[in-house]
Amino acid sequence: MRLMSESSAKSDFQSKIQVFEPHRASLPPLIPYFKEFWKRRAFAIELSRFADKAEYLDSKFGKVWLVLNPVLLALVYYLLVTVIRASKSHNNGLTTLAHILIGLFTFYFAQNCINSGALSITAGGRLILNQAFPRALLPFSSTISAFWAFLPTIPVYIFVIVVGKYFYPATQVPGFTWNYLWVPFIVICVGVTGFGLALLFATMNVYFRDTNKLLQYMTRIWLYLCPVLWLPSALHGWHRILLTINPLGPTLAATSNVWIEGIAPTHSEIIGSIAWALASVLVGGYFFISRERDFAVRI
């Protein structure tokens, strides 16, 4: 009896060995996966809060940089677009500044989703090796962080518009209308598109570690291809297809219509925004989820 108890005690304290092997890409059962994803959503929220605190821990200005960075960059682009063109109209200048500001704020939201999400898997190596959870929670946490970074920019934009209309009553930027109710729709489309692309690039970054470095240059070029430094109305005829094939083209065009023109998005902008959001999350989700069981080996 004593020998049996000793052997059983020894077996109780045996360490479990977890073996990671290369896994052929295939989708797991999706219903249990999404149930577990939703069940652990609080984990992603807390992780995003921790990341936000850690990012600005050594900065004296802290989260003020969330607003300062895009505002200063918008002023630089404003000088390039307005001063170099020798624009003499104050009203047109305010409209240009307002367009660049809201365009940059919205574009930065998507860019932060993608850039942070692309690094989320490789940066969370120990977490992935030691914990069992849907790995898509890590890019999702990056999207939440990007959303909280985007929110403080909206009051800044509204302040600029209010001050601008006070000093220049004849400005072309409209007052607040019911069409501003489209703003949550635009934010959701940008967030879903950014999350889907984050899943895609996070997967690529696991297999090809230079993806993140290339992504920084790709997003810079992407900025110039988006209606941020130029108005969507500048494109005519078949050139309008440039907005359609751009993942953020329809959404940023809708942003300009709502915030600058004070009108509702067109049907093509609404359909295009929804289509790109769904396509991004479906394609990115497929590549990510079908390969996430292989991440532990690659990291």
292 band by pLDDT with thresholds 50, 70 and 90: confident
The answer to whether residue 18 is domain-embedded is no
Which residues span the domain enclosing 159? 27-52+60-298
The count of domains in the chain is: 1
Lowest mean pLDDT of 28-32, 75-79, 190-194, 276-280, name the range: 75-79
Q: Is residue 13, in this structure, part of any structural domain at all? A: no
3-state SS track over the chain = CHHHHHHHHHHHCCCCCCCCCCCCCCCCCHHHHHHHHHHCHHHHHHHHHHHHHHHCCCCCCHHHHHHHHHHHHHHHHHHHHHHCCCCCCHHHHHHHHHHHHHHHHHHHHHHHHHHHHHHHHHHCHHHHHHCCCCCCHHHHHHHHHHHHHHCCHHHHHHHHHHHHHHHCCCCCCCCCCHHHHHHHHHHHHHHHHHHHHHHHHHHHHHHCCCHHHHHHHHHHHHHHHCCCCCCHHHCCHHHHHHHHCCCCHHHHHHHHHHHHHCCCCCHHHHHHHHHHHHHHHHHHHHHHHHHHHHHHHHC
Q: How confident is the model at residue 83 (pLDDT cuts 50, 70, 90)?
A: low
Give pLDDT tens digits for 26-39.
777 888 889 889 98
Mean pLDDT (the chain) is 80
Provide the pLDDT confidence category of residue 25 given band limits of 50, 70 and 90: low
Q: Is residue 20 part of a domain?
A: no
Please write the tens of the pLDDT for every residue from 173-186. Answer: 666 678 889 999 99
Q: In percent, how much of the chain has pLDDT > 70?
A: 78
Do the domain assignments include residue 153? yes
Q: State pLDDT tens for residues 108-138.
A: 999 999 999 998 888 877 777 777 788 899 9
Name the residue with higher pLDDT: 126 or 203: 203
Query: Looking at the domain assignment, is residue 72 inside a domain?
Result: yes
Check pLDDT > 70 for residue 103.
yes
Residue 7 lies in a domain: no
286 or 64, higher pLDDT: 286
Q: Please say if the pLDDT value at position 164 is more than 70.
A: no
Reported confidence tier of residue 204, pLDDT bands at 50, 70, 90 = very high
pLDDT tier for residue 51 given thresholds of 50, 70 and 90: low
**Residue at 5 is within a domain:** no
Q: What is the pLDDT of residues 52-82, one digit of tens each?
A: 655 554 555 556 666 777 777 777 877 777 7
Is residue 160 situated within a structural domain? yes
15 vs 249, higher pLDDT:
249
What pLDDT sits at residue 9? 46
